[in-house]
């Protein structure tokens, strides 16, 4: 190796050693608060979808759920909160900043809370003691088909929120009048299985009608009953005759949260 190569290798070694010393001497990076690390504030929204209703800044929490927001500085959470109760005991309200609980308490009456928020982070307003008890009389129809018609042709239509049609299981569930309508594509035999769930000690009674003709009137019990009914092309009405749907107990929480940053 010539002198120039030796000098170059020595210089490279010195440069590498200097870089290593600088890296070793550099202090460890300090924790950077969220407000200084590209924080993007986000308004309050439901943490779980379809767990309540929102009108502007006002939220109605109708099941166990929470609201969440991102704040980029210390400040104060102003919270207008009120119970909606037809239940034993008030809703419980909890406020968290990340994993730290800032407030927790029962809410027997409307009140306005001011909760200090000591730093940037994610605020959550939690409602976790929901209660809903319903009294209802439920009628379920399954295995619906008409001879000579494709299964999809029946196209059950639930009227005015009387219940629900569930295509994946092929079941029609009704607990209110006026009930539902089935479309019969041609004259034949309507086959179906009827089952019921009692409410207040009484089984649901259902009438199946086509025009002015009553095809059947059945008391639906827990034991499935299979019906075979002659029908013409047209509409068949499925009518609950003794519907029952009442809320015995319901607890909700109404909140209007506003975060005020520290000046």
Residue 161 forms part of a structural domain = yes
Contacts for 39-45: CB closer than 8 Å, 24+ residues apart: 39/70, 39/72, 39/120, 40/70, 40/72, 41/69, 41/70, 41/71, 41/72, 42/69, 42/70, 43/69, 44/68, 44/69, 44/125, 44/257, 45/69
Residue 16 forms part of a structural domain = no
135-192: pLDDT as tens digits: 999 999 999 999 989 878 888 999 999 999 999 889 999 999 999 999 999 999 999 9
Q: Can you give the CATH number for the domain in which 144 is found?
A: 2.60.120
Residue 146 forms part of a structural domain = yes
Strands 100-106 and 213-219: unpaired
Question: Where in the sequence is the domain holding 38, given as residue range(s)?
Answer: 34-132+250-261
Q: Do residue 145 and residue 109 come from a single domain?
A: no
Task: Quote the pLDDT of residue 27.
Answer: 36
Higher pLDDT, 137 or 12: 137
Residue 6 forms part of a structural domain = no
E strands in 73-120: 75-86, 92-97, 100-106, 111-117
Give 63-85 as a 3 state SS string: CCEEEEEEECCCEEEEEEEEEEE
Q: Does the pLDDT value for residue 28 go beyond 90?
A: no
pTM of the prediction? 0.57
Residue 81 forms part of a structural domain = yes
Q: Do residue 220 and residue 209 come from a single domain?
A: yes
Residue 77 forms part of a structural domain = yes
Residue 22 forms part of a structural domain = no
CB within 8 Å of 129: residues ≥ 6 apart: 64, 89, 91, 92, 251
Q: Can you give the CATH number for the domain in which 69 is found?
A: 2.60.120.260
Q: Do residue 95 and residue 110 come from a single domain?
A: yes
Task: Quote the pLDDT of residue 247.
Answer: 83
Backbone angles phi, psi at 25, to 5 degrees: -80, -15
Q: How confident is the model at residue 134 (pLDDT cuts 50, 70, 90)?
A: confident
Q: How confident is the model at residue 248 (pLDDT cuts 50, 70, 90)?
A: confident
Number of domains in the chain: 2
Task: Quote the pLDDT of residue 49.
Answer: 85
Q: Does the pLDDT value for residue 30 go beyond 90?
A: no
Q: How many helices (H) and strands (E) does the chain have?
A: 1, 20
Q: Do residue 121 and residue 169 come from a single domain?
A: no
Q: Do residue 88 and residue 41 come from a single domain?
A: yes
CB within 8 Å of 26: residues ≥ 6 apart: none
Q: Do residue 205 and residue 122 come from a single domain?
A: no
């Amino acid at each position: 190796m010539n002198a120039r190569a030796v000098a170059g290798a020595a210089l490279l070694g010195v440069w590498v050693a200097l870089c290593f010393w600088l890296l070793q001497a550099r202090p460890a990076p300090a924790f950077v608060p969220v407000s200084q690390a590209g924080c993007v504030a986000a308004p309050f929204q439901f943490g779980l979808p379809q767990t309540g209703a929102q009108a502007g800044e006002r939220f109605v929490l109708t099941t166990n759920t929470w609201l969440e927001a991102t704040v980029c500085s210390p400040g104060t959470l102003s919270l207008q909160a009120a119970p909606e109760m037809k239940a034993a005991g008030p809703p419980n309200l909890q406020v968290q900043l990340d994993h730290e609980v800032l407030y927790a308490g029962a809410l027997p009456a409307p009140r306005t809370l001011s909760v200090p928020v000591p730093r940037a982070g994610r605020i959550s307003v939690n409602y976790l003691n929901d209660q809903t008890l319903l009294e209802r009389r439920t009628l379920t129809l399954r295995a619906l088909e008409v001879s000579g018609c494709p299964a999809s042709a029946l196209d059950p239509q639930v009227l005015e929120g009387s219940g629900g049609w569930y295509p994946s299981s092929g079941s029609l569930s009704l607990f209110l009048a006026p009930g539902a309508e089935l479309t019969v594509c041609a004259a034949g035999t309507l086959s179906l299985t009827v089952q019921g769930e009692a409410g207040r000690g009484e089984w649901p009674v259902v009438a199946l009608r086509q025009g002015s003709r009553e095809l059947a009137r059945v008391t639906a019990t827990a034991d499935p009953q299979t019906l075979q009914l002659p029908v013409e092309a047209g509409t068949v009405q499925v009518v609950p005759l003794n519907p029952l749907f009442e809320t015995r107990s319901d607890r909700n929480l109404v909140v209007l949260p506003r975060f005020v940053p520290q000046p």
